[in-house]
Every structure is written in C-alpha cells, then in structure tokens.
C-alpha cells in the first residue's frame, strides 16, 4: 500500500511537471508547427514568464534579499496574465528585426535573447536577486487547501492511513487540476484559432511564404502575431512553473531543460498537431524522469548518468528525424480530410476560389 500511495503521489507530481512542459510545447507548436518559426530560445520566454509571475505575486524583498523592488503580492491570475504579456512583448521586440529574414537569423536571435535574459537575471540583482533567485513564491490557495485537508484528516481519525496520506497531498491534486484546466483551455483556444482563417494563413506561410504574400496576406504581421502569441503561452508555462516550484533561479532556465527538451517533445509528438504536442511532452518527460532511477544502478557517477540520459534524448531526436519525421501523431492535412468527407457525405465543400 505504501508503494502504491508513493506511486500515486509521484504520478500527480509528474502530471504537474509534464503538463507545464505541454504548455511550452503548445506554444512552440503555434510558432514552429503552424507557422514554421524557428525559435530555439524557448528558455528565454519561459524565464520571463516565471520571473514576471514571481515578481507580481511574490512577497516584497526581505532583509537578506539583494532585491530592491518587486513582490507586489497580487493575485495569481494577475501574475499569470502579466507573465503572458511581458513574454509576448519580448517576442514582439525580437520579432521586429528578424521575422523579415531567413529562418536562420530568427534562430540565432532567439538563442541570443535566451542567453541575454539569463545574463540579465544573473546580473540585475536589484530586480531578480541574481544567482540566488527568487524564493517564497506563493502557490495559489495553498493555505486554505493544505490546512483544510490537514484539519479534515485530524478530525477524521477513523480513515485508513493510506486515505489520509492521499488527502494530505490535496494541494498537489489541486495544482494538477489547475495545470490541466490551463492546458485544456489553451488546447481549445488554439484549436479554434488554427481552424479559423487566421490559422490557415499561418500554415500557408509555413508552406510557402511567397504564395501567401502573393494572395495578399501580410506575411510579416501574421508571423509576428504567431511569435508573440506562442511566447505568451510559454510565459504562462513559466508562471505555472514558478508558482508550483516556489523557487526560481537563472539556472532553472538553462537551454537544455527549457528549450531542447521542448523541441524534442514537439517533434516526437507531432509537429503541427496540438494533441501530439501534449502527448510528446508526457512521453519525453516520462522517459526523462523514468530514467532517473538508473543513477543508482549503472556503474557510473551521477554526472555520467546525467550525460547518458541527455545523449539518449539527443539520439531520440535524431531517430525521430530519420525514422518518423511526422511524429507520433502526424499533422492532419486538411486536403485529406476534405476528400474523405466528400466520400462519406457526398457533399463537396465550396471549391477554392
């Protein structure tokens, strides 16, 4: 029973982390999967979201803190929206000089912004507390839920111990629910957007920019919108992370955990498919977290096992690119769906003008 409870509790924790990654993966899918924008600075937008949320909702500077400002103790939702807004604004600034150019330039500029943001987080102690990071970020509704669950267990001693243990972890259950709600909301929001004409223009741009431009679409404006919206979603991911982890530092946002793993998630799951983006996040995070136990079993040092696990992620990426470039859940091509629909119902949709 102990083991069973342990596994359940771990799965809840796993769901929260993987769900947060799925938010990042959805953001990247809008940029890369739908619009073909090569953003390899996911870490930067993720970090901006996390720090914004922490500064908006966190406590004011303590005496031992290197900070001078921030910590407004505003509600979670305001922090979440601010995280999206600031992250989107950063994307707007980075998009202006790069989106008219070839994909290579955007890629390099996004690496640059991610690294520059890390430098700012490290150096501007008055705002970010430097390498020590921000602590005591409040988790929304933590006190009522945690003490409520504790009080319930205390007043009901007749419950089985394993039921009590599950109830005591009520906060994690709540946070998992919160992450799932955000994820589902984003999923349906993106589904609507990408099925609307707006989303179809994005795909047209991805397939052939010149053709999209020739049909009178302002390619630059659409790309900028997709970049900003994707970055806003990544900012929300950052806020979700900060409020759960309750501690963030510049090292949380190193390119490996915050950028590359998200790319592998999206590519494995299925570029251009939002369900795939979510599936990929759970599969890759499962593989990553699931190989953690190897540390105790392989005849190597912890650092060597960590390196092996990253090599594994790298090889998974190359294997997908070589063997199944469309990912686990390939993008649903509209043309195919149309022709199938025609066969079934016999009614053709209006032909393209």
Partner 1 sequence: MDILARIPQLLVYGIVSGSILSLGGIGVSLTYSILGFSNFAHGDTMALGAYFALAFLSLLAGAGIPGQPFGSLSFGLDFVLSLVLAMIATSAVVVLLDRLLFRRLRLRKANRITLMISTIGIALVLRNVIQFFWGPQPHYYSAKIQLAIPIRQLGIRVKPDQVFIVSIAVILVTLLHCFLRYTKMGKAMRAASDNSTLAQVTGINTERVILWTWVIGASLAAAAGALTGIENKFITPDLGWQMLLSIFSAVILGGLGNPYGAIVGGMIVGISEEVSTAFISTGYKPAVAFVILIVMLLIRPTGLLGRRN
- What are residue 134's DSSP bridge partners? 248
State yes or no: residue 328 binds partner 1 (CB under 8 A). Answer: no
Identify which of residues 111 and 180 has a Cβ nearer to partner 1 in the complex. 111
Residues 6+ apart with CB under 8 A from 100: 220
State yes or no: residue 307 binds partner 1 (CB under 8 A). Answer: yes
Given candidates 11, 163, 298, 311, which one binds partner 1 under the rule CB under 8 A?
311
Encode burial over 194-232: b for 16+ CB neighbours within 10 A, e otherwise: beeeebebbbbbbeebeebeeeebebeebbbbbbbbbbb
**Selected range binding partner 1 among 33-41, 59-67, 155-163, 329-337, rule: CB under 8 A:** 33-41
State yes or no: residue 101 binds partner 1 (CB under 8 A). Answer: yes
In angstroms, how far is the first alpha carbon of the chain from the final one?
A: 64
Identify which of residues 121 and 242 has a Cβ nearer to partner 1 in the complex. 121
Identify which of residues 27 and 58 has a Cβ nearer to partner 1 in the complex. 27
For residue 325, which phi and psi values (nearest 5 degrees)? -60, -20
The CA distance from 170 to 114, in Å, is: 35
Restricted to residues 215-274, the positions that interact with partner 1 (CB under 8 A) are: 255-256, 260, 263-264, 267
Torsion angle (degrees, nearest 10) of CA 246, 43, 281, 312? -110
Given candidates 28, 82, 109, 134, which one binds partner 1 under the rule CB under 8 A?
109
State yes or no: residue 284 binds partner 1 (CB under 8 A). Answer: no
Residues 6+ apart with CB under 8 A from 208: none
Residues 6+ apart with CB under 8 A from 186: 23, 26, 233, 236
Identify which of residues 62 and 124 has a Cβ nearer to partner 1 in the complex. 124
Identify which of residues 15 and 133 has a Cβ nearer to partner 1 in the complex. 133
Write out the two tokens for 257: 């955990």
State yes or no: residue 151 binds partner 1 (CB under 8 A). Answer: no
State yes or no: residue 208 binds partner 1 (CB under 8 A). Answer: no
Nearest distance, CB of residue 346 and partner 1, angstroms: 37
Residues 6+ apart with CB under 8 A from 165: 5, 9
Given candidates 113, 233, 234, 240, which one binds partner 1 under the rule CB under 8 A?
113
**Are the C-beta atoms of residues 186 and 26 closer than 8 Å to each other?**
yes
The CA distance from 193 to 188, in Å, is: 8
Identify which of residues 81 and 99 has a Cβ nearer to partner 1 in the complex. 99
State yes or no: residue 68 binds partner 1 (CB under 8 A). Answer: no
Identify which of residues 85 and 108 has a Cβ nearer to partner 1 in the complex. 108
Given candidates 59, 112, 148, 330, which one binds partner 1 under the rule CB under 8 A?
112
State yes or no: residue 302 binds partner 1 (CB under 8 A). Answer: no
The CA distance from 41 to 61, in Å, is: 29
Given candidates 8, 108, 167, 245, which one binds partner 1 under the rule CB under 8 A?
108
Local structure of residue 332 (DSSP, 8 states): -
Identify which of residues 32 and 76 has a Cβ nearer to partner 1 in the complex. 32
Collapse the DSSP code of 248 into the 3-class scheme (helix H, G, I; strand E, B; otherwise coil) and give the result: strand
CA distances from 279 to 199, 205, 229 (A): 21, 26, 21
Nearest one of 280, 202, 274, 276 to 233, comparing CA atoms = 274
Q: How many residues bind partner 1 (CB under 8 A)?
A: 43
State yes or no: residue 213 binds partner 1 (CB under 8 A). Answer: no
Given candidates 321, 332, 338, 348, which one binds partner 1 under the rule CB under 8 A?
321
Nearest distance, CB of residue 62 and partner 1, angstroms: 24
Please report, as ranges, the residues that interact with partner 1 according to CB under 8 A: 36, 38, 40, 97-98, 101, 103-105, 107-109, 111-113, 115-116, 119, 122-123, 255-256, 260, 263-264, 267, 300-301, 303-304, 306-308, 310-311, 313-315, 317-318, 321-322, 325
């Amino acid at each position: 029973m102990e083991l069973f409870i342990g596994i359940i509790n771990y799965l809840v924790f796993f769901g929260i982390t993987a769900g947060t990654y799925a938010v990042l993966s959805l953001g990247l899918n809008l940029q890369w999967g739908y619009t073909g924008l090569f953003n390899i600075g996911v870490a930067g937008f993720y970090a901006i979201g996390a720090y914004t949320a922490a500064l908006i909702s966190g406590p004011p500077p303590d005496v031992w803190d290197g900070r001078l400002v921030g910590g407004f103790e505003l509600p979670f939702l305001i922090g979440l929206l601010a995280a999206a807004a600031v992250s989107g604004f950063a994307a707007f600034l980075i998009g202006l000089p790069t989106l008219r150019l070839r994909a290579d330039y955007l890629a390099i500029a996004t690496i640059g912004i991610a690294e520059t943001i890390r430098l700012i987080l490290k150096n501007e102690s008055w705002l970010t507390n430097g390498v020590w990071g921000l602590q005591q970020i409040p988790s929304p509704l933590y006190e009522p839920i945690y003490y409520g669950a504790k009080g319930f267990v205390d007043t009901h001693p007749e419950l089985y111990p394993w039921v009590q243990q599950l109830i005591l972890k009520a906060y994690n259950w709540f946070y998992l629910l919160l992450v799932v709600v955000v994820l589902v909301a984003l999923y349906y929001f993106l589904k609507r957007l990408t099925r609307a004409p707006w989303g179809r223009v994005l795909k047209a741009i991805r397939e052939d920019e010149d053709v999209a431009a020739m049909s009178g679409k302002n390619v630059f404006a659409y790309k900028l919108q997709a970049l900003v919206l994707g970055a806003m979603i990544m900012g929300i991911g950052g806020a979700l992370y900060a409020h759960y982890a309750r501690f963030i530092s510049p090292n949380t946002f190193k390119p490996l955990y915050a950028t590359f793993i998200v790319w592998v998630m999206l590519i494995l799951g299925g570029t251009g498919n939002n369900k795939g983006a979510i599936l990929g996040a759970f599969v890759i995070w499962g593989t990553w977290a699931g190989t953690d136990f190897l540390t105790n079993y392989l005849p190597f040092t912890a650092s060597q096992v960590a390196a092996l696990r990253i090599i594994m992620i790298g090889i998974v990426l190359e294997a997908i690119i070589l063997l199944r470039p469309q990912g686990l859940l390939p993008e649903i091509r509209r043309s195919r769906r149309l022709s199938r629909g025609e066969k079934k119902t016999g009614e053709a949709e209006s032909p393209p003008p």
